[in-house]
Chains A and B, each alone.
Chain A
Amino acid sequence: MARVITVAVVDDDRMLRDGLRAWLDGVPDLRLVATAATVAELLADPGRYGDPQRAPADVVLLDLVLRDGSDPADNIRRLLRTGSRVLMISTVPDRSRIIEAIRAGADGYLTKDHDLPTLVCAVKDLAEGRGAHSMELAFACAYDDSPARPRLSPRERQILLDYASGMTLKSAARRAGITVHTAKDYLDRVKAKYQQAGRPTYTKLDLALRVREDSLDGG
């Protein structure tokens, strides 16, 4: 049997934290080890993060916008430094913020209206080192019109668009005439491009080139 995956939740809504606790209590392979209203509060938690002897949670579910006004990208980087992987959650898909979060290194994004199996599946994917994909994340990338967006190949774009429309990865792969495995590779690659583009090696020259390409595309 697989080892138990540890999960922490950072959300400023207590009701939602309690709800997730109740939900995850019933899942055999997951254990909720810490909840907090802010990232600072979580990292100061003596039960898990204050003690260097104890490992941080495998996966942190992080609310996209916290009421303490902290910067989502900053929150993500702080959590990544502890060794956790980060799955973003939010009530409404705020696309520019989703893109920012992926650039900052978050591994997945879900809206809060998904059912428990979808959430558990995403957490397991992340804990096992795979990328978690969702329709709303694909949609945010597919319709990202910011000048800093990475360049996607036609195939990557097609899979992204089809997956963003709600098709299963299997159906999107069939439509494109490729295997599910390859289709998932494409989605992983898109996310990797965003994460790479989020790194500071991104120069102003790159940005200027991208803006020029955009105006050529639009013309």
Chain B
Amino acid sequence: MRSGTDRAQSFLIVATLLYRGSHLTVAVMAVAHRPWHPPLQHLGLAAALGLSALTYGTALRRGRFDRRHIWADILVTGCVLPLALCAWGGVREPPTIAWAMLLGGSATATAAIALDRLHALVVVALLVLTHFIGYQAVDATPAVVVGHLNSLVSSAVMTYAFRWYLLRQGRLLDEANARALAAEAHKARYAERLEHHRALHDTVLATLTTLAAGTVDANAPEVRQRCAREAAYLRRLIQQTAEETPHREIGAALEEAVGSVESLGLRVTAQYHALPQVPPEAAAALGHAVREALNNVRRHAGTGHAYLTATADPDGGGGAVVTVVDRGPGFDPARCEPGLGLRGSVHGRMTEAGGRATVDTAPGEGVRVELRWPG
């Protein structure tokens, strides 16, 4: 989403463009309805149209004005054009140059939003001076002169006030948005912590309390197994929370997969590093594929031990690489049809989600399943 100040800036560009547009419409009509005007009128109009297209076109594209364009517009459209028309335009009466004078109003308006205060003041003073000279040269009545100079100044003052108000509102909006985001992240962290506390309560804390009470034999195989499982859980938890990442889709999906096979007696040694952010459906596919791969280790490796790693793609690119490895007997990939688990669930699920699974094995060499997202 664009920031509030950027949006205020864009609004000011469009507003001054419309203002300039209205002045140009008047100018085109004035020049077109008097075809006997000398070519200087047409040349002047062409210059004003061209400079306006450059200034406002660039500003619309970039989201802000280019100061060089503003100065070019002010000097050519605002200063040179009225004076040139007075000197060589032929007809020496106020209505003939009124269209060129009018453009000065949109020039000061734009200067007031695009330049800093000192430069904007210089621009207004410059235009007031040249336009005063211009109208004096064609003997305009004081009412016309004062009215025009007033419009030059008030255009600048008005847009300056708009700019001040809108940018302030934009800044306030940005600050409010930043606060809301921070509050949301804080809430998410709090929810995560609560979830961890609940899990710790049900596992580690319960086990330690029972052991401390002395009511069970700490050396009994099932107690030791439970302790090892919970120590592994704590290790994964520490690795996952070591880096303060706001996204935890992969971490949560892997935790669920590991938890499901650990309860069936498989030991999982997990190492995580810089888990990247992935869409929820990719995380779900990775979790599902890991669960199948771990189940495969449990059923076929005969070692009771799997190694899981999950990292950001070490070759860059923002993807995720997850491996499930065992040190069991492996199989001959050329002869042995891999179990339905590897072919169906792991491959199928990863491909469906836009990822890829590769299985590497040989007799006596264990099995290595590598999952990549994107594939």
Contacts and interface: CB of A to CB of B under 8 A. Distances in A.
A190 to B, nearest CB: 14
Nearest to B366: A171
A208 interface: no
Contact of A139 (B235, B238, B309, B362): B309
A165 B269 contact: no
Contacts of B239: 92-93
A217 B308 CA distance: 27
B368 A171 contact: yes
Interface string B255-288: 0000000000000010101100000000000000
B323 interface: yes
A135 B271 contact: yes
A151 interface: no
Interface residues of A, number: 25
Contacts, number: 65
Contacts of B311: 143
Interface string B227-247: 010011001001100000000
Contacts of A168: 327, 365-366
A142 B306 CA distance: 20
Nearest to A142: B314
Nearest to A95: B273
B307 interface: yes
A113 to B, nearest CB: 6
Contacts of B232: 113
B102 interface: no
A161 interface: yes
Nearest to B360: A175
Interface string A123-162: 0000000000001100100110100000000000000011
B314 A161 contact: yes
B323 A165 contact: yes
Contact of A92 (B235, B269, B307, B308): B235
Interface string B288-311: 000000000000000000111101
Given A113-B232, A143-B314, A135 B269 contact: yes
Interface string B309-349: 10100101000000101110000000000000000000000
A113 B316 CA distance: 31
**Most chain B CB neighbours (cut-off 10 Å) among A142, A143, A174:** A143
Contacts of A136: 271
Interface string A93-117: 1010000000000000001010000
A148 to B, nearest CB: 18
A167 interface: yes
A174 B366 CA distance: 11
A164 interface: yes
A50 to B, nearest CB: 36
A166 interface: yes
A167 B238 contact: no
Nearest to A113: B231
A92 B273 contact: no
A188 to B, nearest CB: 21
A86 B307 CA distance: 26
B365 to A, nearest CB: 4
Nearest to B308: A166
**Most chain B CB neighbours (cut-off 10 Å) among A136, A142, A217, A218:** A142
7 contacts: A113-B235, A135-B269, A142-B314, A164-B271, A165-B309, A165-B325, A166-B323
Interface of A: 91-93, 95, 111, 113, 135-136, 139, 142-143, 145, 161-162, 164-168, 170-171, 174-175, 217-218
Given A139-B309, A174-B365, 11 more contacts: A92-B238, A135-B269, A142-B314, A165-B323, A166-B269, A166-B325, A167-B366, A168-B365, A171-B327, A171-B368, A217-B316
Ranked 8 nearest A-B pairs via Cβ = A166-B307, A166-B325, A165-B323, A143-B273, A171-B365, A139-B271, A92-B238, A165-B309
